[in-house]
Amino acid sequence: MKISDFAFQFETLRGNRPYGLCRVRIFHSDGTIAAVLTDLTSVGQGAQGPSVTNAVELIHAALIRRGFIRYGATIVEHYEATKFRAATFDLVSFSAGGSPKWDTISLEVACKLLNCNSDEFDTPTEKNAALLTEIERLRSTFDPFFSSPHLEDPVVVNRRLNIEEKMTRKYDLVAAIEANSGERQLQQILKEDLSLIAEVYADPDDEYICFSEFPIGDGFVDFAIFTGRSRMDVILVEIKGADFNLITSGSYANFSSKVNEAVQQIRARIGVAYRDLDRFRKEVHRIRVEAESGKPIYGAFLGPHCSLEVDPNKDINIRSVVIAGRTLNDLEESRLRHEYEWSMKPSVKIETWDSWVRKLRRL
C-alpha cells in the first residue's frame, strides 16, 4: 500500500549543483517499508542536479536522516519510459560502508515487493499536475533562473557549433537516395557526418558516441551508436543501397534478398553479443571510455556532451536497425515491417531510406 508520494530535495555535496530532486513513493507491505526513487532529470524543464543513479546513496541517507525510512528499507530505483526504451526498475542494496549495488528487476517483481498494482507506474510524473507544480517550485528555490535558457559549458557549446558547421544537408542525402545510390555511396555520406545517425537515434539528443565499421566478434556492423542515461543503449545499424525496392516485384509478402542479407548479417553480430553478454557489456564500456578520452577508435564521433552519464555496472540495452531499399507502397510495407519486427526475436527494426530520411530534423 502506498502511504506517500512526493518530490524530494536532497543535498548533493557538489559545489556547482548543491541540490538535486527525485520523486519518492513510500510503500508499506507486510510490516516492511519500501521506497521507490524515480529519476526526474528529464521531467518538466529538464535536468537539475544529478541523476538518481549518481546520487542514490545521498538520497538514501537523506531519507533516513529526515525520518522517512529506516535503515534496511527496500529501495527501488526507477526510470520512467522514454520514446526509445521501457521503464526500468533496479533493486538497490547498500554495503556496510554505504556503497550501492544494483540488481535489475521487472515491473512485476517491483509491484510484488511494493504490494501495488502495475497501474501505479502507468502515468508518468510529467502528467501529474500537482507533482509537476511542486517539482518546478522546488527547482526555483535553489535556482531562480532554472526556467531560463540553460547556460551550457563552453566546451559543450563549442562542440555543438562545430558539429552544426560541418553537418551534411538533408537535401544532399535525399538527392543521393532519389538517384538510387548504392550501398558504398550512402555509407560514405554517413561516415562523413555521423551526426546523421545520432539525429535519429540519440536519446538524450546531445549525448551520444557514433562509430563506423564497429567490430563484434569476427565481423562488424556498418555503424553503432552509444547513448542513453544510467543504462547505456547500444544501437547497431546495418545499411544497404537505395538501388532496389524493399519488397520483391509484384509481391507484398517478401522482402528483397538484399534486405534479408542485411538482417542475417546484423543478427549474426547480435548473436555474438548475446552469447557472452557480460563480456560484450564490458567491451562496449571500454570502447566508450577510450572514445571519451579522445582516442579515434572506430571513427568515434562524440556529441556535444562528450561523456555519457551511464553506469558501466548496469545492464545495457541492445537494439538493431537495417536501412535498405526504397518504398513503393508505404501502407503495405509498414504493415509487413511491423509484423516482421514483432515476430523476430531479438527484433530487428526495418527502415527504407525513404522512411528513415523523414526522421531527420535538419534542413
Give the pLDDT score at 146. Answer: 52
| % of the chain beyond a pLDDT of 70 | 93
- pLDDT score at 136: 84
- Determine how many CB atoms are found less than 10 A away from the CB of residue 22: 28
> Which residues, at least 6 apart from 152, have a Cβ–Cβ distance to it below 8 Å?
none
pLDDT at 294: 94
Predicted confidence at residue 47, as pLDDT, reads: 58
Q: Is the pLDDT of residue 27 over 70?
A: yes
Place 153 in a pLDDT band, splitting at 50, 70 and 90.
confident
Q: What is this structure's pTM? A: 0.64
Q: Which of 237, 183, 192 is nearest to 213 (CA)?
A: 237
User: What separation in angstroms does the CA of 49 have from each of 38, 109, 274, 355?
Assistant: 14, 29, 35, 37
The pLDDT value recorded for residue 144 is 60
All cell numbers assigned to 159 = 562542440
Tell me: pLDDT of 236 over 60.
yes
Q: Lowest mean pLDDT: which of 124-128, 188-192, 273-277, 326-330?
A: 326-330
One-letter-per-residue 3-state SS of 274-295: HHCHHHHHHHHHHHHHHHHCCC
How far is Cα 87 from Cα 111, in angstroms, rounded to an integer?
13
- Higher-confidence residue of 251 and 300: namely 300
Backbone φ/ψ region at 266: left (φ over 0), alpha (ψ -120 to 50), beta: alpha
Distance of CA 258 to the CA centre of its chain: 29
Give residue 250's pLDDT.
Answer: 61
Q: How far is CA 174 from CA 180, 223, 264, 275, 357, in A?
A: 10, 19, 27, 38, 7
pLDDT for the residue numbered 335: 80
pLDDT at 179: 97
Please tell me the predicted confidence (pLDDT) of residue 296: 92
The mean per-residue pLDDT over the stretch 18-25 comes to 90
CA 233 to chain centre: 5
* Nearest-angstrom CA–CA distance, 222 and 61: 46
Contact predicate 249/196, CB 8 Å? no
Q: Output the pLDDT for position 45.
A: 62
Third-level CATH fold of 154-357: Restriction Endonuclease (3.40.91)
Domain map (residue ranges) of the chain: 2-142, 154-357
pLDDT tier for residue 328 given thresholds of 50, 70 and 90: confident
Task: Inform me whether the pLDDT recorded for 249 exceeds 70.
Answer: no
Q: Which residues lie across from 78 on neighbouring strands?
A: 38, 89
Q: With bands split at pLDDT 50, 70 and 90, how would you rate the model's confidence at 247?
A: confident
What is the structure's pLDDT at 16? 56
* Cα torsion through 325, 330, 332, 338, rounded to 10: 70
Compute the average pLDDT of residues 57-82.
Answer: 94
> What are the grid coordinates assigned to 113, written together?
515487493
- Whether 244 contacts 256, CB under 8 Å: yes
Q: How confident is the model at residue 138 (pLDDT cuts 50, 70, 90)?
A: confident
Average pLDDT for the chain = 90
CB 43, CB 126: distance < 8 Å:
yes
